[in-house]
C-alpha cells in the first residue's frame, strides 16, 4: 500500500533519516520503536509528506507522491489519518464540529452524513455523552480519542500514530490503547510509533527498530523481543524493559 524507498531527510547539517526503505501492506500493523532522536516521528511525517524527504520516494498505491503538487498531496492526505503525541483539537469547535469539519470541507459530505459518521465513531469510542463538549472540557484521554475519531471520520486507508499515549496520564493510556486495539481488530492498516511495549507485542504484525536515522532491524514481535539479532536492538530493549 505504501512503499518508502531510500528516504533521506536532512535538517540543515543534521541527517535525521539515512536511507530508510519500508514497505507497508494493506492490513498490516507496523510498530516502530527506537530511542529518542532516532527519527521515528520524522519518518512518520514523511509518509504523508508533512516533511518533504530530502531524497527518496514515497509510493502510495503505486504512485510516487513525492513529486506531486500541493493540491494532489492534500488528496493523498485525505486517505492517510494521523494522530500525534501532542493533541491538537480545534479549540474553537466542539467535539462534533472537530470531527465533521474535514469530511464536510474536504470531502464535501453533507452535514447530515458527516454527523452520522461522526456520531457512530464517537459512540464507539465511548464519547457519546461528549458530542457537544469543547476541547477544554475534556480530559487528555478523551481529547486523544476525539483526535482519533477526527482522523477516522475521513475514512482513511491507513492510520499513522506518533506516540499517541506519551502525553497522557497513566490512567488514561488504556482507554486510548483500547480504541486502537479495536481498530486493529477491524483490520485497519496502521503504523504506530510507541513506547508501550506490551501493546506493541500484542498488536504488531511487524516491529521496526530504528536508531540513528535508519532501520536497524525488523521482524515479528516474537523475533524482536525474544531474540533480537542486532546488539543495538537488544541494548535498547534491555533498557526499556528493565
Ligand X SMILES: Nc1ncnc2c1ncn2[C@@H]1O[C@H](COP(=O)(O)OP(=O)(O)OP(=O)(O)O)[C@@H](O)[C@H]1O
CA distance 170 to 76: 34
Shortest separation between residue 72's beta carbon and Mg ion, angstroms = 27
Nearer to other proteins, 72 or 116 (CB): 72
Nearer to Mg ion, 41 or 233 (CB): 41
Shortest separation between residue 162's beta carbon and ligand X, angstroms = 7
Query: Which helix H or strand E contains 148, and what residues bound it?
Result: helix 140-152
- Judged by CB under 5 A, the stretch of 40-48, 71-79, 138-146, 219-227 that binds Mg ion is 40-48
Distance of CA 214 to the CA centre of its chain: 18
Closest by CA to 196, choosing from 232, 219, 221, is 221
Burial class, 24, CB count within 10 angstroms (exposed 0-12 / middle 13-18 / buried 19+): buried
Residue 6's CB: how many other CB atoms inside 10 A?
13
Task: Choose the one of Mg ion, ligand X, other proteins, none that binds residue 151, judging by a C-beta under 5 to 8 angstroms depending on kind.
Answer: other proteins
Enumerate residues 39-68 that contact ligand X by CB under 6 A.
Answer: 39-42
Task: Choose the one of other proteins, ligand X, Mg ion, none that binds residue 88, judging by a C-beta under 5 to 8 angstroms depending on kind.
Answer: other proteins
Local structure of 171: helix, strand or coil:
helix
- CA atoms within a 13 Å half-sphere pointing along the CA-CB vector of 89: 28
Shortest separation between residue 104's beta carbon and ligand X, angstroms = 31
- Judged by CB under 6 A, the stretch of 31-39, 60-68, 102-110, 224-232 that binds ligand X is 31-39
Nearer to Mg ion, 118 or 210 (CB): 210
- Judged by CB under 6 A, the stretch of 33-41, 92-100, 118-126, 173-181 that binds ligand X is 33-41
Q: From the list 16, 49, 65, 100, which residue makes contact with ligand X (rule: CB under 6 A)? A: 16
Task: Choose the one of other proteins, ligand X, Mg ion, none that binds residue 96, judging by a C-beta under 5 to 8 angstroms depending on kind.
Answer: none
Shortest separation between residue 54's beta carbon and ligand X, angstroms = 12
Nearer to ligand X, 52 or 107 (CB): 52
Cell of 66: 513525492
Task: Choose the one of Mg ion, other proteins, ligand X, none that binds residue 42, judging by a C-beta under 5 to 8 angstroms depending on kind.
Answer: ligand X
For residue 57, what are the β-bridge partners? 5
Q: From the list 16, 33, 34, 41, which residue makes contact with Mg ion (rule: CB under 5 A)? A: 41
Would you mind telling me the total number of residues written for the chain in this entry?
Answer: 242
Distance of CA 51 to CAs 6, 17, 54, 137, 233, Å? 15, 11, 9, 32, 26
CA distance 235 to 158: 31
By CB under 5 A, name the binding residues for Mg ion: 41
Amino acid at each position: 500500500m505504501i512503499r518508502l524507498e531510500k528516504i533521506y531527510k536532512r535538517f540543515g547539517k543534521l541527517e535525521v533519516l539515512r536511507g530508510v526503505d519500508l514497505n507497508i501492506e494493506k492490513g498490516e500493523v507496523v510498530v516502530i520503536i527506537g530511542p529518542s532522536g532516532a527519527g521515528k516521528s520524522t519518518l512518520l511525517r514523511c509518509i504523508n509528506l508533512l516533511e518533504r524527504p530530502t531524497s527518496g520516494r514515497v509510493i502510495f498505491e503505486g504512485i510516487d507522491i513525492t513529486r506531486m503538487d500541493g493540491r494532489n498531496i492534500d488528496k493523498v492526505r485525505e486517505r492517510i489519518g494521523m494522530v500525534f503525541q501532542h493533541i491538537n483539537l480545534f479549540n474553537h469547535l466542539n467535539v462534533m464540529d472537530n470531527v465533521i469539519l474535514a469530511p464536510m470541507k474536504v470531502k464535501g459530505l453533507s452535514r447530515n452524513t458527516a454527523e452520522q459518521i461522526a456520531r457512530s465513531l464517537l459512540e464507539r469510542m465511548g464519547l457519546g455523552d461528549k458530542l457537544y463538549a469543547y476541547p477544554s472540557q475534556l480530559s487528555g484521554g478523551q481529547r486523544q480519542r476525539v483526535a482519533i475519531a477526527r482522523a477516522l471520520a475521513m475514512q482513511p486507508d491507513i492510520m499513522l500514530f506518533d506516540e499517541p499515549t506519551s502525553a497522557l496520564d497513566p490512567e488514561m493510556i488504556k482507554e486510548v490503547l483500547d480504541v486502537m486495539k479495536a481498530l486493529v481488530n477491524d483490520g485497519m492498516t496502521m503504523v504506530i510509533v510507541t513506547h508501550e511495549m506490551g501493546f506493541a507485542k500484542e498488536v504488531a504484525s511487524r516491529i521496526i527498530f530504528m536508531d540513528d536515522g535508519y532501520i536497524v532491524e525488523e521482524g515479528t514481535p516474537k523475533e524482536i523481543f525474544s531474540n533480537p539479532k542486532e546488539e543495538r536492538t537488544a541494548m535498547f530493549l534491555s533498557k526499556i524493559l528493565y
